[in-house]
Amino acid sequence: MPRPGFVLDVDRSTPPALIWHGEGFRLERLPAERSRVVYAPEPLSPLPDPDEAIRAALLAPLGDRPPLPELLRAGMRLTIAFDDLSLPLPPMRRPDNRQRVIETVLDMAAEAGVDDVVLIAALGLHRRMTETELRHALGDRVYDAFAPYGNLLQHDAEDPKGLVALGKTDLGEDVEVNRRVAESDLLVYVNINLVAMDGGHKSTTTGLMSYKSVRHHHNVRTLQHSRSLMDRPRSELHSSTWRIGRLLAKHVNVFQIETTLNNDTFPSQFSFLQKREWEWGVRDRASFLGASRGLDLLSPRARRSIFQSILAPHQMTSVQAGEVEAVHESTLANLHRQQVVDVEGQSDVVIFGLPHIGPYNVNSIMNPLLVSCLGLGYFFNMYIGKPLVRPGGVVILSHPTPWAFHPVHHPSYIDFFEEVLATTTDPAEIEKTYEERFATDDWYRHLYRTSYAFHGVHPLYMWYWGAHALEYASSTVVVGGNRRAVRRMGFRPASTLSDALEMAEDQVGRDPTITYFRCPPLMLAHVH
Amino acid sequence: MLREALEGRRIAITGATGFLGTALTERILRCLPQTEVVLIVRPGRRGATERMRRDVLANDCFQRLRQQLGDRFDEDTSRRVIALPGDVSLDGLGLDAAGRELLASCSTVVHSAATVSFDAPLDAAVEVNLLGPLRVAATLRLATSERAKTVAASDDAAAPHLVAVSTAYVAGGRRGLAPEAPLSETPFSPEVNWRSEVDAARRARSDTEAASRSPEMLARFRARARAELGAAGVPLLAEKTEKLRSQWADDRMVSLGKARAQALGWPDAYAYSKALGEWALLEERGELPVSIVRPSIIEASLAEPVPGWTRGFRMADPVIISYAKGLLREFPGIPEGIIDVIPVDLVVAAILAVAARGPLSSPDVVHAASGARNPLRYGQLVSLVRDWFSGHPLADDKGQPIEVPQWTFPGRQRVQHQLRQATTLLNGAERALRAMPLRGARADLAARIEERREDARRALGYVELYGSYTETEAVFSVGRLLQLQEGLSPEERREFCLDPAVVDWPHYCQDVYLPAVVAHARVPQAGGQRRPAPASRSREQRARRAILSPDRQLAVFDLENTLVATNVVDSYAWVATKQMGFPERARFTARILLEAPRMLRLDNQDRGDFLRWFYRRYEGGALGELGEEAWEMASDLLLAKSFPAGIRRVREHRALGHRTLLITGALDFLIEPFKPLFDDVVSAHMRTAGGELSGELEESPPTGEARALLMADYAAAHGLELAQCVAYADSTSDLPMLEAAGFPVAVNPETKLAAIARKRGWPVEDWSRSPGFRRPLLPFGPLQQGTGRDRAPSKGALQQRNGTLQQGPGRNHAGRKDIGHDATHKGSPAAAPTPGTKPQ
């Protein structure tokens, strides 16, 4: 029986805590008597036979959907959309959930004699996936059966011919969706629900729609009013996607398949990352020492390639299929079972150790904007109820924050960082002054469509993602980051965690209370 | 007396645009208000009057007179000064009858035009300094006789008095007192036939010109031009070669002059040609009344028109500035030797006194020199200079004071030896650096070394040129000069002071001369307000503002190493290796490496030839498939190695409404993905037959001067001005294009271009690849993946004719270009089997 999450109050005998620091980690002793560490629940046991569970879910769908085979018939147009590279994190070992689910769906389609089947990677405004990445997600069999014949597509949010407008929601939100999806008799959406934000109507409304639609929920206003992003009923972003998704469901028959994973994040040689420090055995200590010494000897590039090659052993804990909202309710329950940790009250300071990977730097570089997005956008929002830190508190991030960018994946990020952030860091002003320019830029559009670049507007979304935290906390301190890059974002650089805590006292007074959110493994703090 | 003699007269002056001539003109205009002046000036493009206005009257020498006259300055000068177009290097001075008549109407002609540089080519020195006085004399005789015919037997028919300005150093390398007497009457003067010297000098010029055109020499110049410019294209190389040739011929004439002068006992061609000029003038003067004034080293004025007035870079100035910059660690000289300096206003007074006194029955010589009456010792001068610069140091490029060196007065040989060694060493370092394929900051190092080498070379030049003047042991007697002074009234003695005894050397050096030199040279002084670092930064900002001004119309970019850090070899390697397994890749790498030296050599010689040769490898390639692979390559190679700042710059230009044009030698189908970045693209195009590439280019590739022409044609076709064009490039093969553009920018320049950009003050951009990202070193395409069971087989895009490149089974690449994002792997519909069948 895996143990639930745990909040440790730090005293003098507490061993130093492991804090993630990009492609590496630090051991830090936290101030006794006023610090606490939030640990994730231990990994749930996976489904014993995932393929059988998938089959069962497809045959016994939730909500008002009939079993999948009843929706399939010869001569129909079937489209299977699937989550892109940004999920799960780190990428999972083969076979990927998407491969298992899609193979099962294709089996049923073949039995029903469906021969017009197209697969679409639901990229949204993300970069296209490479052949290697597609093969990893779908498996070679699916890839080789579809790709050579042009039946494996990647969503293009900027293809004027490939999009169809379905109207507007009651609040005037444009609904513009992939033409193939709109013209299909059935859309099967295959999802991996890594965090509470994923899934539901958000899958189709961000993954298969155009910038014109996405801008209605990816903006400063919704993000500042999402308390949090991970708590759907209190998320303005989700309210918008739900409105748009319901309108889509009136035009398109959507059959949603959602899966959840346990938080078994690291392979056995890194198992110490998964454990609580005082429970480290001799082997854990040895592998920690070996790993940290070894990493010290490597160049940043070598460290990056090692960490990027980590495949997580996480496994499927649930699968549910059928009508979107019913499915998502069940998914969230399963997700909460794995991730929720109860925390009593807020603290003056919260510490996030940021790991090497976020949704937008798989096989890429964690540039400073992604550091900000991961820390202030994702980690800060990993709460239900209220944030871990009190209003006006201080957020401390730990990450090397190198002034480094992937020239192919993040071209508009480079320009945004060099030009826009040098002028202003205010999300609202950035949205007002720069969003249109970046979103409609022809060169970025060209790179997004033909190369492997994120959409031109994406770096702005990264910045909006932190808008709630920027507004809520009084300041952000980055430990061990590139000073120039940190300052460019309006954050304060600190050499060590102790210095960062000293600096925090300027805002929150002497001897502040501290919460260290020891993530990954992923968890969701329910703050009472 | 002086005033009476010159009032109401008319004085002609040659060399009025020079230092002495300007001072003389000013003094006459200011102090002799009833005297008229005729200035014989070369008309140039603007005409003599305009040139006189700009080059003489606009000089700050006339500041005092302007203040005195106020609004009347223009009126007064246009009434009293006549510009007479003429040229002392032409027979008859290029004057017409009216000009000669004007000349004959003058009471005095002061001939001060000369080539004053000590290192003038032999023939130039001879033409101007030796033959100049003869031409003036001959013209005056002719003018006088013409006038005698028209103005019958009047008093006015008397020939003008010719006052020729020579130099005290015609005395040569003698020791002891040099008398104020014609050389023919001076003991120990060499017997020289000036006519045969003139012939020899002219012959030497034609021999040198012939020698410089010999095939061996021309080959040498060509090689040097190539070493400096690289593959800049035929016209630029030819231009450079010709420049080097004529430079070589001039240098040779300089050394011939020096050698000839020294063989006859003069320090250099200047003194030699001046001495022969005196000699010839006295021989050929006929009835013409002639006087000779021999100044020593003329320097800034003592008092008139203002203390410290100077014009041009005088003889000692560059030496002093170099010393103050710490560049001259040593300078030869005899500390107790006399360095004979004379302020310009004293020389002017001497000339006026000679003119006022009028000619003597036999030609006379007057020294305007200080050594005999008020000697300045070399050692004293050096310590005065040192003291002054210790208190008023110059600033280095960081604004720190420069410490001046302590000279120990070693022999000339030793100093020259040291400097030669340094020059040779730096030369070697520079050559070594230039031979390496360096870029950006490292290339700048080579440019810096070149500057240091230039410094050393210049220092050596000063030592060789001026060394003999600091080692002079002649003393110039001034008895006649003092006699002239006695002929003046006491009041005039003050106003037209010509006695060197009035000079207080410490005061003159430290309060008058050195401040004037430093101000004149415009070198930054320590402790001044100017901070060099921000100045250079603001220069950068200014340059950038100029480049990104809305007034610009066209921005032209090179691609390789300007916007992306790749070249044609990388692109080829990428497409060629895409179909290869590991062993073939290793073999391929080895082959390319073996060929690398040849490629480098060819590329250095002519970029166009290199491209033509290299592109033959594409023969037999399938255009369709290569065109599709180009899209993958754009991401995996070109964009991965792009310079984001460069791409941003292209977009900035577009946003400003400038047209943007890419000119590249890359093949068109390979750079297709870059087309949307620019308004237009010019690239190399390969002939095809039946979808197969021929390996031959349709037209010669856009390299070298072809780029400049393309740019010009493009600008003309779109109604844009080249003067409003910004051009970005990285190598000297783009030099013609950069030169043709109004705003050239060197991007990550290789060594040769870095040196050129530095010299010409072109802005340099240091664009780097995206920080923190490194593509694998070798420009290989990605490896094959997948099981391959269901793949439609396809032929490799780049089928090598001779079969050395093995092909693996290919992937299907069709459709990428047309359908873009949506259709990563869309195959032709006809070929697609029933999809949705159960994957096995």
Q: Looking at beta carbons, which residues of chain B come within 8 Å of A129?
A: 824
More confident of the two residues B815 and B479? B479
> Does pLDDT of B317 surpass 90?
no
Residues A86, A147 within the same domain: yes
State how far Cα A320 lies from the chain centre: 20
Q: Looking at beta carbons, which residues of chain B come within 8 Å of A443?
A: 647, 651, 676-677
CATH number at residue A384: 3.90.226.30
Residues A247, A393 within the same domain: no
Query: How large is the C-alpha radius of gyration of chain A?
Result: 22
Closest residue, chain A, to B564 (C-alpha): A407
Q: What's residue B313's pLDDT? A: 67
Q: Would A331 be classed as within a structural domain?
A: no
> Does pLDDT of A70 surpass 60?
yes
Q: What's residue B527's pLDDT? A: 64
Q: Would B202 be classed as within a structural domain?
A: no
User: What would the two tokens of residue A272 be?
Assistant: 């110490």
CB contact under 8 A, A144 and B635: no
Q: Would A318 be classed as within a structural domain?
A: no
Q: Would B512 be classed as within a structural domain?
A: no
Q: Is pTM, for the whole model, over 0.90?
A: no
Q: What's residue B680's pLDDT? A: 93
Spatial distance between the Cα atoms of A128 and B631, rounded to a whole number of angstroms: 13
Query: How large is the C-alpha radius of gyration of chain B?
Result: 36
Gap from B240 CA to chain A (nearest CA, Å): 40
Which tens digit of pLDDT belongs to each residue from B739-749? 999 999 999 88
Q: How confident is the model at residue B154 (pLDDT cuts 50, 70, 90)?
A: low
> Does pLDDT of B531 surpass 80?
no
From chain A residues 462-521, the ones with a CB under 8 A of any chain B CB are: none
The percentage of residues in chain A with a pLDDT greater than 90, rounded to a whole number, is 91
Q: What's residue B727's pLDDT? A: 94
Q: How confident is the model over B326-344, as a mean pLDDT?
A: 79
CB contact under 8 A, B677 and A443: yes
Q: Looking at the 3D structure of chain B, how many domains does it have?
A: 1
Q: How confident is the model over B175-190, as a mean pLDDT?
A: 78
Q: What's residue A109's pLDDT? A: 96
Residues A143, A242 within the same domain: yes
Q: Would A198 be classed as within a structural domain?
A: yes
Q: Would A102 be classed as within a structural domain?
A: yes
Q: What's residue A60's pLDDT? A: 95
Q: How confident is the model at residue B537 (pLDDT cuts 50, 70, 90)?
A: low
Mean pLDDT of chain B: 81
Gap from B393 CA to chain A (nearest CA, Å): 38
User: What would the two tokens of residue B451 be?
Assistant: 């500057």
> Does pLDDT of B789 surpass 70?
no
Q: Looking at beta carbons, which residues of chain B come within 8 Å of A150?
A: 815, 823, 825-829, 832
Spatial distance between the Cα atoms of B784 and A44, rounded to a whole number of angstroms: 38
Residues A109, A23 within the same domain: no
Report the candidate in B759, B760, B761, B756 with the shortest Cα–Cα distance to residue B232. B756
Q: Would A271 be classed as within a structural domain?
A: no
Domain that holds residue A221: 50-261
Which tens digit of pLDDT belongs to each residue from B631-664? 888 888 889 999 999 999 999 999 999 999 999 9
Closest residue, chain A, to B645 (C-alpha): A415
Which tens digit of pLDDT belongs to each residue from B542-582? 888 888 888 899 999 999 889 998 888 888 888 888 777 77
Query: Mutate which of B821, B826, B828, B838 to test chain A, going by most A C-beta atoms within 10 A?
Result: B821
Q: How confident is the model over B22-39, as a mean pLDDT?
A: 88
Gap from A68 CA to chain B (nearest CA, Å): 16
Report the candidate in A354, A374, A366, A526 with the shortest Cα–Cα distance to residue A462. A374
The percentage of residues in chain B with a pLDDT greater than 70, rounded to a whole number, is 89
Q: Looking at the 3D structure of chain A, how many domains does it have?
A: 2
Q: What's residue B702's pLDDT? A: 85
User: What would the two tokens of residue A98 be?
Assistant: 């998407």
CA dist list (Å): B143 to B129, B155, B286:
22, 15, 14
CB contact under 8 A, A144 and B839: yes
Q: What's residue B838's pLDDT? A: 39
One-letter identity of residue B756: I
Asked if A68 and A59 touch (Cβ cutoff 8 Å), the reply is yes
Q: Looking at beta carbons, which residues of chain A come within 8 Å of B647?
A: 411, 443
Q: How confident is the model over A322-332, as a mean pLDDT?
A: 96
One-letter identity of residue A106: L
Spatial distance between the Cα atoms of B712 and B691, rounded to a whole number of angstroms: 33
Among A207, A233, A261, identify where a domain stops. A261
What's the longest Cα–Cα distance across chain A? Answer: 71
Report the candidate in B632, B661, B650, B646 with the shortest Cα–Cα distance to residue B571. B632
Residue at token pair 């005056």: B140
Q: Looking at beta carbons, which residues of chain A come within 8 Å of B640?
A: 407-408
Residues A38, A166 within the same domain: no
Residues A128, A208 within the same domain: yes
CB contact under 8 A, A140 and B825: no
Spatial distance between the Cα atoms of B573 and B21, rounded to a whole number of angstroms: 69
Residues A38, A115 within the same domain: no
Q: Give strand pairing partners of A3.
A: none
Closest residue, chain B, to A453 (C-alpha): B635
Gap from A448 CA to chain B (nearest CA, Å): 7
Write out the DSSP string of B725-757: EEEEESSGGGHHHHHHSSEEEEES-BHHHHHHH
Q: Would B631 be classed as within a structural domain?
A: yes
Residue at token pair 């871990």: A388
Establish if A238 touches chain B: CB-CB under 8 angstroms: no
Residue B785: CB atoms within 10 A of its CB come to 13
Spatial distance between the Cα atoms of A293 and A388, rounded to a whole number of angstroms: 32
Domain that holds residue B601: 545-765
How big is chain B, counted in residues?
Answer: 840
Gap from B825 CA to chain A (nearest CA, Å): 5
Residues A38, A70 within the same domain: no
Q: Looking at beta carbons, which residues of chain B come within 8 Å of A116?
A: 835-836
Q: What's residue B644's pLDDT? A: 92
Residues A139, A30 within the same domain: no
From chain A residues 75-104, the ones with a CB under 8 A of any chain B CB are: 78, 103
CATH number at residue B676: 3.40.50.1000
CATH number at residue A181: 3.40.50.11440
Q: How confident is the model over A150-176, as a mean pLDDT?
A: 95
Average the pLDDT over each of A142-146, A385-389, A505-509, B113-117 and give the range with the smallest value: B113-117
Please tell me whether residue B517 adopts helix, strand or coil conformation. Answer: helix
Size of interface A-B (CB pairs under 8 A): 165
Q: How confident is the model over B531-537, as a mean pLDDT?
A: 52
Q: What's residue B826's pLDDT? A: 37
CB contact under 8 A, A154 and B826: no
Residues A77, A226 within the same domain: yes
Spatial distance between the Cα atoms of A44 and B142, rounded to a whole number of angstroms: 120
CB contact under 8 A, A406 and B835: no
Which tens digit of pLDDT belongs to each residue from B570-618? 888 888 887 777 788 888 888 888 888 888 888 777 788 888 888 888 8
Q: How confident is the model over B48-64, as a mean pLDDT?
A: 84
Which tens digit of pLDDT belongs to each residue from B494-511? 888 888 888 888 888 888
More confident of the two residues A28 and B439? A28
Q: Would A229 be classed as within a structural domain?
A: yes
Establish if A423 touches chain B: CB-CB under 8 angstroms: no
> Does pLDDT of B828 surpass 50?
no
Spatial distance between the Cα atoms of A280 and B634, rounded to a whole number of angstroms: 48
- Contact partners, residue B72, CB within 8 Å, separation at least 6: none
CB contact under 8 A, B673 and A147: no
> Does pLDDT of B514 surpass 70?
yes
Gap from A302 CA to chain B (nearest CA, Å): 11
Q: Would B576 be classed as within a structural domain?
A: yes
Q: Looking at beta carbons, which residues of chain A come within 8 Å of B770?
A: 404-407, 414
Residues A14, A68 within the same domain: no
Residues A193, A88 within the same domain: yes
Q: Would B601 be classed as within a structural domain?
A: yes
Asked if B798 and B576 touch (Cβ cutoff 8 Å), the reply is yes
Q: Looking at beta carbons, which residues of chain B come within 8 Å of A140?
A: 786-787
Closest residue, chain B, to A365 (C-alpha): B773
Q: Looking at beta carbons, which residues of chain A come within 8 Å of B835?
A: 115-118, 145-146, 149, 151
Q: Would B587 be classed as within a structural domain?
A: yes
The percentage of residues in chain A with a pLDDT greater than 70, rounded to a whole number, is 100
Among A223, A244, A261, identify where a domain stops. A261
Q: Would A278 be classed as within a structural domain?
A: no
Cβ-nearest to A403 among B772, B791, B792: B772
Which tens digit of pLDDT belongs to each residue from A403-431? 999 999 999 999 999 999 999 999 999 99
Q: How confident is the model over B799-811, as a mean pLDDT?
A: 35
Pairing verdict, β B161-165 and A524-527:
unpaired
Spatial distance between the Cα atoms of B706 and B792, rounded to a whole number of angstroms: 44
Cβ-nearest to A149 among B641, B789, B835: B835
Closest residue, chain B, to A444 (C-alpha): B677
Among A261, A292, A315, identify where a domain stops. A261
